[in-house]
Amino acid sequence: MKLQQLEYIIAIAQAGSITAAAKNLYQAQPNISIALKELESEIGMQIFWRTPNGMVLTPEGEDFLVRAKDIVESMHSLEADYTNRIEDGISLKIAAVRSGYIPGVIGDWINELDNDDKLSLHFFETSTNKVIEEVNSGRADLGIIRVPLNRYEVYEEQMSNRRFFMRPLVSFIMQPIMTANHPLANKEEVSIADLEMFPEIVHADDEMNIFERNHIASEYESNNLKRIFVQDNGSKMILLQTIKNSYMWASPSSKGMPNGAKGVVAVKCNQATLTTIDIMICKKSNENNRTIKVCMDYLAENCEKLPGAVPVDLPTHKEEIAAEEN
């Protein structure tokens, strides 16, 4: 029995199929199918029923899954405790959503570390779903995801099912940013119709209508005919400053100006009404890991001071029930 086989079992149970598990783990489907068959043969027990609707745990498989999760989490915790320190130094892997403030705050944290410490930090930006999978697979120790505040409980349940620890980081309303010489730069407020007259730079891996209606306004309707889709966050900023009169939606910045870019300003959009929340996540087995905890504490304390940040007011199901009863 191998640790990887147990990780495959957990991934199949979470995804509901071998195909989806393979996609989530960035593995070839046959590899996972073979690993599952070998494990079931080795232990002499069927873990899943193969049904037209996907993979369903057998009663014995449910018990096996609980024990498999405990073993995998214990192994990851053991690994994290002894690999996050490298010869009196720090090793940490962080996956985060693309943001104007996260790299800056992480940079400030690094500056606060002991100069005598050795440091190995892996930081990469991607989408929320990929951040979750990076943490789930162990390729990232700490993740930062971005979700609509009105869907916080949905993600809270998902993280609980994955046995993740969650800690709110900062909440805010998205704002359009542009160069200081943009025709709209000096307006006190702009509308979506105002913005649609100019080129928009957007994330290439976001489904725009879903992003807009979840993070900007619930009834967002864009008629913008000029959109430039970009994958890399750095390239977005270069294009913003290069493409005449362009703009993009952004989170607050840690450096007093959006994304820390010189000559870039934020304007208020009177139709941006939805609150977005960024959340730190890690596996529960890593919740008390010293390096991860110190990093989380620093991020939480300093992100409260971001220009444009609003107090985190998390919804709860109990509050909704009480409101309905009244």
Q: Which domains does the chain have, with CATH numbers?
A: 3-82 (1.10.10.10), 85-172+278-318 (3.40.190.10), 175-269 (3.40.190.10)
Q: Report the pLDDT value the prediction gives residue 120, as an integer from 0 to 100.
A: 86
pLDDT means per 10 residues, the chain with 326 residues, are 86 88 82 89 89 88 87 71 56 90 90 79 89 87 92 88 89 91 93 92 72 82 84 85 92 57 82 91 87 91 80 60 39
Q: Report the pLDDT value the prediction gives residue 258, as an integer from 0 to 100.
A: 44
Q: Report the pLDDT value the prediction gives residue 260, as an integer from 0 to 100.
A: 43
The stretches of the chain forming alpha helices (DSSP H) are 3-15, 18-25, 29-43, 59-83, 102-112, 128-137, 152-161, 192-195, 208-215, 233-242, 290-303, 317-325
Q: Report the pLDDT value the prediction gives residue 177, as an integer from 0 to 100.
A: 92
Q: Report the pLDDT value the prediction gives residue 245, as an integer from 0 to 100.
A: 94
CA-CA distance, 178 to 201, in Å (whole number)?
A: 10
Q: Report the pLDDT value the prediction gives residue 205, as an integer from 0 to 100.
A: 67
Q: Report the pLDDT value the prediction gives residue 308, as an integer from 0 to 100.
A: 75
Q: Between β-strands 119-126 and 90-97, what pairing exists: parallel, antiparallel or unpaired?
A: parallel
pTM: 0.69
How large is the angle between the packed helices 102-112 and 290-303, nearest 10 degrees? 120
